[in-house]
């Protein structure tokens, strides 16, 4: 069976299993979505949600995190892996947003990826879930499933993202990315 046929079957099955697809991370606004995605690196979404449920009611804008400072951010996210590195990124990301973007999360890949601690996958999630732009964020789970399904032979998530974008119609990307995460 060729990959186009496989892609149609995958879409049909995932639409049947997941007719409604919730976003796994809880957030209050685009800024807290960005922070949650940054925190989710090498960590479960459940753990991120458990930590941020006590943070976001009080702190949900870049100026809040700048005012908190790195040490206080560290203490708030201590239960998350590599929390010191992430606290540093959150602090400097918040500072950069205030200094260069008037406190607003930018809505281009280039500007997002220039923020401290933000890579392509994080930028893709924010572009997709925060701004509604077609994006196909690929993490290790999606990468492994796509390989298992035989729809990519990509050696890394970048190649897998390219393969999936070529295989699936753009109108399905945002939804399909979430469906595959839930399936995985």
Contact between 159 and 181 (Cβ < 8 Å): no
Cα distances (Å, whole numbers) of residue 165 to 1, 107, 162, 177: 19, 20, 5, 11
Q: What positions carry a catalytic annotation? A: 121, 139
pTM: 0.91
| Per-residue pLDDT tens digits of the chain, which is 184 residues long | 898 899 999 999 999 999 999 889 999 999 999 999 999 988 889 999 999 999 999 999 999 999 999 999 999 999 998 999 999 999 999 999 999 999 999 999 999 999 999 999 999 999 999 999 999 999 888 999 999 999 999 889 899 999 999 999 999 999 999 999 889 8
């Amino acid at each position: 069976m060729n990959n186009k046929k496989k892609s149609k079957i995958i879409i049909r099955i995932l639409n049947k299993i997941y007719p409604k697809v919730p976003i796994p991370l809880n957030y209050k606004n685009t800024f807290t979505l960005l922070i949650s995605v940054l925190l989710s690196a090498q960590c479960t979404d459940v753990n991120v949600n458990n930590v941020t449920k006590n943070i976001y009611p009080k702190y949900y804008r870049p100026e809040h995190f700048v005012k908190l400072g790195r040490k206080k951010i560290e203490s708030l996210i201590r239960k998350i892996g590599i929390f010191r590195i992430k606290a540093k990124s959150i602090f400097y990301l918040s500072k950069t947003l205030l200094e260069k973007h008037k406190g607003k999360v930018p809505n281009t890949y280039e500007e997002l990826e220039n923020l401290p601690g933000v890579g392509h996958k994080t930028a893709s999630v924010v572009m997709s879930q925060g701004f509604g732009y077609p994006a196909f964020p690929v993490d290790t789970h999606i990468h492994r499933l796509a390989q298992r399904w035989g729809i990519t032979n990509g050696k890394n998530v970048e190649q897998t993202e390219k393969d999936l974008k070529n295989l699936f119609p753009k109108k399905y990307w945002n939804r399909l990315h979430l469906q595959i995460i839930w399936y995985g």
